[in-house]
Structure 1
Amino acid sequence: MKIAVVCANGKAGKRIVKEAVGRGLDVTAVVREENHSAAPKVIQKDLFDLTSHDLTGFDVVIDAFGAWTEETLPLHSTSLGHLCDVLSGTDTRLLVVGGAGSLYVNPEHTVQVADGPDFPDIFKPLAAAMAKALEELRKRRDVKWTYISPAGDFQAEGERTGQYILGGEELTLNDRGESVISYADYAIAMVDEAVDGGHIQQRISVVQK
């Protein structure tokens, strides 16, 4: 299986590359500058300069793009839109590192995590930008996409337990009532989806077991 990880130098990207390489998959890092991930192959190119030719032959493209500053938040939509355009009409699957703020907290799917009174104001612009990108992604019927939301507490330095619970559109809690997952365990879930998953044009979520 051939996998390309876009923005492989980021925290999530590096973890996903490491997990995929560790399983013996054929992994290519897509990076703007020098490759700092474990991927043995590299496409050194800005995400917005990627063409269909660049991504031809990959079974899965994993989008690990992230933007955090106010002026760059709209790039969540434009970057994802560009990748969709590049992969439109192909059999290459697009897996997206998503956010937790857009997960629903009621069965009617009318209230999201980011709507809650305890959701930090500082993260609301980011959650809104990522939710907008997801809503735009849902309209793409020409791309084999899967959007994977982490748990509410997404821990960059958390341990790799090797176990996770697969959820859907709603915020899922583990047996301890927690919504938490490490980047390492999230990477396991992402690569599992790449290898075995069939959640085409769906949003799924993961939480540490």
Structure 2
Amino acid sequence: MKIVVIGSNGKAGKLIVKEAVERGIDVTAIARGENKSVAKNYIQKDLFDLTREDLSGFDVVIDAFGAWTEETLPLHSTSLKKLCDLVSGTNIRLLVVGGAGSLFVNSEHTLTVSDGADFPDIFKPLANAMAKALGELRQRNDVKWTYISPAGDFQADGERTGKYILAGEELTLNSKGQSVISYSDYAIAMIDEATKGNHIQERISVVSE
């Protein structure tokens, strides 16, 4: 299996690359700047400059692209569309590092985490941008995509426990009543999904045990 991680210099991207390397998987990293991951195979290129040829030969493309500032939030949609177009009609699977704000909090799937009264206003633009990108992704029947949402409390420097609960479209709490996962445990879940590929054209979510 050959995996490529786009946005490999980000916090999530680096840990996803590390997890893949430690499992002996053939992984290539892609980012704009110099390689900050542990990947030996590296392509220095902007996501928006990638071609179909750049991604041909890979079994799985992992999209760890991130945009956080107000002016760059639309890039969540345009970057995902770009990657979908590159792998459209192929057997290449596209796995997306998603957000938690779009997880549903009711069985009717009409209310999301970001709709909650206690959801911080400062994070709503990001949550809305990522939810919009997910909605557009759901329309892509020409792509073998999987969108993986983390728990509500997504901890960059959290502990690697090696365990997680695989869930679906709804916000799921662990045995302690928490919605939390570390970036390291999320990376485990991401590579598990990359190697097993059980959720084509689905959004799944993960939370620590």
Q: Which amino acid aligns with 2:62?
A: I
Match of 2:28 in 1: 28
Number of residue pairs matched by the alignment:
209
Structure 1 position 147, deviation (Å): 0.1
Match of 1:135 in 2: 135
Question: How does the TM-score come out when normalised to structure 1?
Answer: 1.00
Gaps of at least 5 residues in structure 1 are none
Structure 1 position 79, deviation (Å): 0.1
CA–CA separation in structure 1 for the residues paired with 2:49 and 2:91: 21
Gaps of at least 5 residues in structure 2 are none
Match of 2:101 in 1: 101
Secondary structure at the residue paired with 1:54?
Answer: helix
Match of 2:110 in 1: 110
* Pairing of 1:1-209 with structure 2 (within 5 A): 1-209=1-209
Q: Which amino acid aligns with 1:117?
A: A
Secondary structure at the residue paired with 1:193?
Answer: helix
CA–CA separation in structure 2 for the residues paired with 1:29 and 1:47: 12
CA–CA separation in structure 2 for the residues paired with 1:142 and 1:97: 19
Structure 1 position 25, deviation (Å): 0.2
Structure 1 position 133, deviation (Å): 0.1
CA–CA separation in structure 2 for the residues paired with 1:34 and 1:69: 22
Q: Which amino acid aligns with 1:157?
A: D
Structure 1 position 197, deviation (Å): 2.5
Secondary structure at the residue paired with 1:78?
Answer: helix
Structure 1 position 55, deviation (Å): 0.2
Q: Deviations over 1:18-51 (max 9, x none)?
A: 0000000001001111000011101111000101
CA–CA separation in structure 2 for the residues paired with 1:39 and 1:143: 26
Alignment RMSD: 0.4
4+ residue runs of structure 1 moved beyond 6 angstroms?
A: none
